[in-house]
Structures are given as C-alpha cells and as structure tokens.
C-alpha cells in the first residue's frame, strides 16, 4: 500500500485495488476509454503502461475497473485505474523536476540519491509527495509513454503511430481514449472545503492547502483573487463617500482618479513580487519547464522536428499565417462589427425608452429606463459565450503545435473581442455622446447584471446539474438512506467521470479582468464600482471554492510560477485606464470652467499630465524589482553553490588526471 495523507497519516484503506501480479495499490488516475474500444488495444495499452522503463514502458500499476453497478446495470468495461509504487513516483518526481524544501530551508530540485537531505522525507518517503503531485507525475509519465515500433494502435489500422509518438495523445485524437482525470480524495477534500469555504469568518484562504490539493496554478488564481479583492478595498472605501454625499466636485474626482492610477500600478507590481514569493515557496519559481509535447489535436505531414530530430508531424508556418490572416482576422473583425451594430440598436432602444418616459413619466416608464441596459448586458454575456466557442474552434483549426501557442492565440482573440464587446458602449457614451449621467447608469447596470449572470452560470447552474447526477447515483444504489455516506470505489469513479470538466483558470481570470476594466477605465465617474467588485469577489471566492470542490472533476495540478499572460493583460488595462481617466477629467464641465477662454490650454495640460502619469507608470514598473530581495539572495545562493561544486569537482578531476 502506497499512500497516506500527509496530514492525517490515515490510509485510504478501502480504496485499494490490485495490479495483475497482485500488488495492491491506491488508484490515483482514471483513464476512461471508449465503451466499444477494441479489446486488443486495451490489453496493449495495459501492457505498455505496466512495462519496465528500460523497455520503453511507464512502469506504473494499472487495473481495469470492475464493470457494472450493484444492480446489475452494465457500466463501461474500459475504465482503467492507474497507480504507482512509491519508488516509481520518487523517480518520476525527479523526471518532472519537482522542487522540494531542503534541510536548510531552501528549495531544491529533488533527486532520489539526495533524498535524505530533504526536509519532509522520512523513512521510505511515504507522505513526502502530495496526492496532487503524484497524480501530476503519473500524468506526465503517461503523456511521455511513446510508441516504439508499432505502426498503428493494435486493432485500429487507421490510428497511425511512429517511433516517439505519444501513445496517449494518439488515443485521445482518435477518440479511443475519452478522458484522463485524477480521482478526488474524499477525506482530504472534506477537510479542505471545511477550512476554505464552509465556515464564515474573516481569514485568508488556506492557499498552501489549496495548492496541496489542486496544485500551483489554481492556488495562484485563488491567491490572485484574494489579493485583487484586498487591493480593491482602499478604492472602495474612498469611493463610498463620493456616492453617499453625491460629490460632484471634480477636484475630488481628479484626486480619486490619480490615486487609482498610482494604486493600480503599485498593486500589479507588488502582485508580481507576491506571486514570486508564493511560487518560490511552492518550488515552481526556478523549476525548469519540461520540453513541451505537441498538442493532441495537432496534425500535419510527417517530417523531422528540427529541435528533437524526431519524426513528427510538421505543419508549415506559412499556411498557419494564411489561415490567421485570411480567415481568423476577418472573422474577428466581423464579430466586432456585429457587436458594434448591436450596440447601436441598444442606443436606439435607450432613446426610445427615454422619449416614452418624458412623454408619460410614471413608475413603469421609470423602470423601463433600465430595461435596455439590462437586455444589452444579457446580450453581451451571450455574445461573449458564443464568441468563445467560435474562438476555440478557429484557434483549433489554426493547428498550433504547442498548447502554449494555442492558449496565447486563444487568449488574444478572446480578450480583444471581450474588451470591445463589454466596453465599446461605455467608450461611445463617454467620448462621443459625452453624457456622464448615462455613462454612470450604464456602467452600473452592465456591471451588476454581468456579475449576477456570471455567478449563476459559473456556480449555481453546474451545481444544480451535479446535484441531480449525485442524487441519481445514490438512488441507483438504493440501499443508502443517508446521503452523506460514502460510495464504494466503482460508483465513486463513475460518478466523478460524469462530473463536468474544469477547463482551466481562463474564464475565472477573464472575469476578473473585465471587472478590473469596469473599475479602472471609468473610475472617476463611478467610484462605487470598486465597492460592487469587492462585494462580488467576496462571494466569488466562496462560489469558486465550492465549484472546485463539489461541481467539477478534480483537475490535474499545473506547476505555474506566475499568472502568465494575465499579468500583461492587467497591466495593459491599467495603461488604457490612464488615458481614459485623463480624457474623462478633461471633458468634465467643472474642469473646463477653470479655462474659460480656450480649450487649447486645458487639452495641453491634460495631455501633459497624461504623459507624465504614463512615464511614471513605466518607470515605477521598471524600478520595483519583480522578485523580492530575500528570494533573489536564495536563488543566487543556489546558483553559486552549484557553480562552486562544479569547480571543485573539476579541480579534483584535473589533479587526479595530472597525478596519473
């Protein structure tokens, strides 16, 4: 038996199965093959997974799940449970370059030979790796399980293989393998959810526990969410009096805007440092990225990869460029135009309602005034959703070799459209119509509506679906009276395989990005936006935590060391915010009143201030170091030590050879 909880030390005793040669193991990862998968292929896959590493196998433990429910109902016979021996996992930890805390408190790359110098390594190393890390290692080992001399998957003549091709990727691209997912750990999950969201009290999130269970990528998202919410609090506090006493004094608005701009620069820079500290403590900061495999869906003519020298599909970049510029770009422009047309319809509706209200001002027409904004907000959300699918389809079709390029192009497409779709109407109202009252009203309606819709779409809808599934599973068992009682392993696996898949932090970051836009772009007109965002994010923490624990399949850990492209996106937004806020202040009648003779002076002044603010933003970002000093020292020390060790080794070698 291999696993214990690192905290409780309690074995997952009723969750073990046995390998073909009788070794009992804890199942960690599930491979769900197609219901009608060829038996020959399944056997071949099983043996390849079990094969020794020298023979090109994964050397993991694997077993087919006993099919069918207790009521004789037939389940999928091709569900494989994968586990591993402890020794194999420790070797795997070395393969993936895991960083762990050393005896002296620094973080170092784990090596098996040096295992006794790591802080939490006791006896045979049981409990040294978290379950999430073990699952990540198993996933990595499965992903790098390569074809040897097989020309195709046994039983599937069309599923071509060539030496070095990742078997799992090919099975996925041919839909023989439906999904790979790690299993939840009921005990640990219960403890996590209790310390995370099941108690209502003022405290930070248990980021280390989250990281322990879900991995670094998700923990960084929740860290960012918390940090971002806290960073909004000062803005919110300053914003409240503006709302309460209806301050229309633009001196104060200028102050508020300047504070916001400086604040947003500082907090984004400080976040970089915070995330570096977190990532250092989690060992992902200095961890080298493993060599990236081609995506499962990538296809092309067989050729030689110039980097690895391996045979692998090649897709010419020129053809990808053609697809981008001849199809994707026009499509995005078309979508933007469509969004623009809808915006114009919204303005027509707005005018129509206003005319109605002026004709007959009563309660109902007063309510009617808000209706166009609400409808428009709903349409925006629907468009964003539809566009999202289209963007995924297009980016897939552009056929990127690497997951990272795929993600970058997807993010770019989605960001451009969402930015335009959400904020175009506000820009139009602010700078073309120059109607500050409508701007405020429209901003408020858009913000509130999108928050409500998001919460429903993100948490309540999936929860409701999941509850139905859950109930069905329990009802199927029939013998259980109490809902809380644990399901036996096969039912638990089937239940989890039916849960929705968490598609990564993309949508969560996107939501925060848009909220940041609502707060910062027009902050001097609607200081209350920060208050709304803070309130939203407090519930967001709970609903996101809840959805991760109860609604979705457990995701694989993602060893992220920062929030990636989102840092750049937030920074770009804060640069745009400088421009919009300066322009808004320049447009305000109160400021204009200071320059009664000519607009020229006013505009020149605003432009000057804007340039100074932008320049100081860049200088500030340049001056604040991205990594805190203590961590810089730690990293430098490790580098120095490895250099010294190398030097000593070399001198010894030289002297021994010269002595001979």
Report the interface residues with its own copies, using CB under 8 A.
52-54, 91, 94-95, 112, 290-291, 306-309, 579, 598-600, 603-604, 607, 611, 633, 636-637, 639-640, 643, 647, 650-651, 654-655
314, burial (CB in 10 Å: exposed 0-12, middle 13-18, buried 19+): middle
Maximum separation of any 2 CA atoms in the chain, in Å: 107
Task: In angstroms, give the least distance from the CB of 515 to its own copies.
Answer: 24
Task: In angstroms, give the least distance from the CB of 140 to its own copies.
Answer: 12
- Of the candidates 503, 504, 479, which has an alpha carbon nearest to the alpha carbon of residue 491? 479
The answer to whether the beta carbons of residues 205 and 219 sit under 8 Å apart is no
Task: In angstroms, give the least distance from the CB of 411 to its own copies.
Answer: 14
Q: What is the DSSP letter of 104?
A: T
Nearer to its own copies, 542 or 595 (CB): 595
Give the CA angle between residues 173, 175, 176 to the nearest 5°: 115
Nearer to its own copies, 23 or 470 (CB): 23
Phi and psi, residue 166, nearest 5°: -70, 120
Nearer to its own copies, 457 or 633 (CB): 633
Region for residue 72 given its phi and psi (left: phi exceeds 0; alpha: psi -120 to 50; beta: otherwise) = left
Task: In angstroms, give the least distance from the CB of 576 to its own copies.
Answer: 10
The alpha carbon of 624 is separated from its chain's Cα centroid by a whole number of angstroms, namely 26
Task: In angstroms, give the least distance from the CB of 281 to its own copies.
Answer: 18
Task: In angstroms, give the least distance from the CB of 604 to its own copies.
Answer: 7
Phi and psi, residue 181, nearest 5°: -145, 150
| Alpha-carbon gap, residue 275 to 280, rounded angstroms | 8
Nearer to its own copies, 386 or 603 (CB): 603
Nearer to its own copies, 333 or 603 (CB): 603
Task: In angstroms, give the least distance from the CB of 120 to its own copies.
Answer: 22
Task: In angstroms, give the least distance from the CB of 262 to its own copies.
Answer: 20
Nearer to its own copies, 167 or 550 (CB): 167
| Alpha-carbon gap, residue 269 to 227, rounded angstroms | 12
The alpha carbon of 513 is separated from its chain's Cα centroid by a whole number of angstroms, namely 13
Buried b (16+ CB within 10 A) or exposed e, 34-52: beebbeebbebbbebbbbe
Task: In angstroms, give the least distance from the CB of 614 to its own copies.
Answer: 9
Q: What is the DSSP letter of 558?
A: -
- Of the candidates 141, 132, 131, 136, which has an alpha carbon nearest to the alpha carbon of residue 168? 141
Task: In angstroms, give the least distance from the CB of 572 to its own copies.
Answer: 9
- Of the candidates 105, 138, 95, 143, which has an alpha carbon nearest to the alpha carbon of residue 287? 95
Nearer to its own copies, 248 or 644 (CB): 644
* Alpha helices for 524-564 (secondary structure H): 529-546
Task: In angstroms, give the least distance from the CB of 317 to its own copies.
Answer: 9
| Alpha-carbon gap, residue 325 to 317, rounded angstroms | 12
Nearer to its own copies, 482 or 660 (CB): 660
Task: In angstroms, give the least distance from the CB of 602 to its own copies.
Answer: 9
The answer to whether the beta carbons of residues 63 and 18 sit under 8 Å apart is yes
Nearer to its own copies, 187 or 571 (CB): 571
Nearer to its own copies, 36 or 659 (CB): 659
The alpha carbon of 280 is separated from its chain's Cα centroid by a whole number of angstroms, namely 19
Nearer to its own copies, 104 or 486 (CB): 104
- Integer CA distances (angstroms), 609 to 269, 586, 594, 612, in order: 22, 10, 16, 5
| Alpha-carbon gap, residue 632 to 267, rounded angstroms | 20
Nearer to its own copies, 351 or 572 (CB): 572
Phi and psi, residue 340, nearest 5°: -65, -40
- C-alpha Rg value of the chain to the nearest Å: 29
């Amino acid at each position: 038996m291999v696993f214990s909880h690192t905290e409780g030390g309690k074995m997952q005793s009723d969750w073990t199965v046995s390998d073909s040669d009788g070794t009992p193991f804890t199942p960690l990862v599930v491979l769900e093959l197609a219901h009608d998968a060829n038996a020959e292929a399944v056997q071949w896959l099983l043996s390849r997974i079990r094969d020794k590493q020298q023979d090109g196998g994964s050397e993991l433990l694997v077993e087919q799940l006993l099919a069918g429910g207790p009521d004789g109902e037939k389940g999928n016979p091709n569900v494989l449970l994968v586990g591993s021996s402890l020794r194999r996992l420790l070797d795997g930890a070395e393969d993936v370059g895991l960083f762990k805390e050393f005896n002296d408190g620094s973080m170092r790359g784990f090596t098996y030979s040096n295992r006794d110098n790591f802080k939490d390594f006791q006896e045979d190393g049981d409990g040294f790796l978290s379950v999430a890390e073990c699952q990540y290692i198993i996933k990595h080992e499965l992903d790098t399980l390569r074809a040897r001399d097989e020309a195709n998957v046994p039983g599937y003549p069309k599923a071509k293989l060539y030496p070095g091709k990742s078997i799992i990727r090919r099975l996925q691209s041919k839909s023989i393998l439906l999904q790979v997912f790690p299993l939840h750990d009921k005990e640990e999950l219960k403890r996590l959810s209790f310390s995370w969201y099941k108690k209502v009290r003022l405290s930070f999130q248990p980021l280390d526990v989250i990281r322990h269970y879900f991995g670094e990528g998700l923990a960084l998202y929740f860290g960012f969410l918390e940090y971002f919410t806290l960073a909004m609090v000062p803005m919110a506090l300053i914003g409240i009096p503006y709302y309460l006493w209806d301050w229309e004094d633009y001196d104060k608005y200028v102050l508020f805007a300047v504070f916001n701009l400086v604040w947003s620069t500082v907090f984004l820079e400080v976040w970089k440092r915070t995330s570096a500290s977190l990532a250092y403590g989690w060992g992902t900061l200095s961890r080298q990225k493993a060599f990236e495999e081609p995506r499962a869906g990538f296809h092309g003519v067989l050729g030689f990869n110039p980097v690895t020298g391996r045979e692998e599909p090649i897709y010419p970049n020129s053809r990808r460029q053609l697809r981008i510029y001849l199809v994707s770009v026009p499509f995005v422009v078309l979508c933007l135009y469509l969004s623009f047309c809808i915006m114009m319809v919204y303005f027509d509706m707005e005018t129509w309602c206003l005319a109605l209200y002026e004709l007959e001002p009563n309660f109902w027409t007063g309510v009617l005034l808000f209706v166009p904004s609400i409808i428009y907000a709903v349409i925006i959300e629907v468009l964003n959703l539809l566009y999202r699918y289209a963007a995924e389809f297009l980016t897939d079709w552009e056929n990127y070799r690497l997951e990272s390029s795929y993600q970058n192009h997807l993010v770019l497409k989605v960001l451009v459209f969402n930015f335009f779709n959400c904020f175009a109407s506000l820009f139009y109202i602010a700078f073309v119509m120059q109607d500050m009252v409508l701007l405020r009203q429209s901003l408020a309606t858009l913000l509130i509506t999108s928050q409500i819709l998001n919460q429903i779409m993100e948490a309540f809808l999936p929860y409701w679906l999941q509850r139905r599934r859950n109930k069905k599973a329990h009802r199927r068992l029939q013998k259980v009276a109490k809902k809380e009682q644990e399901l036996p392993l096969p039912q638990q696996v089937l239940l989890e395989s039916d849960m929705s898949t968490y598609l990564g932090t993309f949508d969560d970051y996107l939501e925060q990005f848009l909220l940041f836009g609502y707060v910062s772009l027009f902050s001097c007109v609607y200081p209350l936006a920060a208050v709304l965002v803070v309130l939203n994010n407090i519930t967001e923490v709970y609903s996101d935590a809840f959805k991760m624990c109860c609604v979705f399949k457990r995701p694989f850990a993602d060893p992220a060391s920062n929030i990636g492209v989102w840092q750049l996106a937030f920074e770009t937004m804060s640069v745009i915010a400088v421009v919009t806020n300066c322009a808004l202040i320049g447009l305000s009648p109160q400021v204009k009143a200071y320059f009664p003779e000519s607009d020229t002076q006013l505009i020149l002044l605003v432009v000057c201030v804007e340039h100074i603010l932008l320049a100081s933003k860049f200088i500030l970002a340049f001056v604040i170091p991205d990594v805190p000093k203590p961590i810089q020292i730690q990293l430098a020390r490790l580098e120095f030590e490895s250099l010294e060790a190398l030097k000593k080794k070399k001198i010894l070698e030289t002297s021994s050879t010269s002595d001979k």
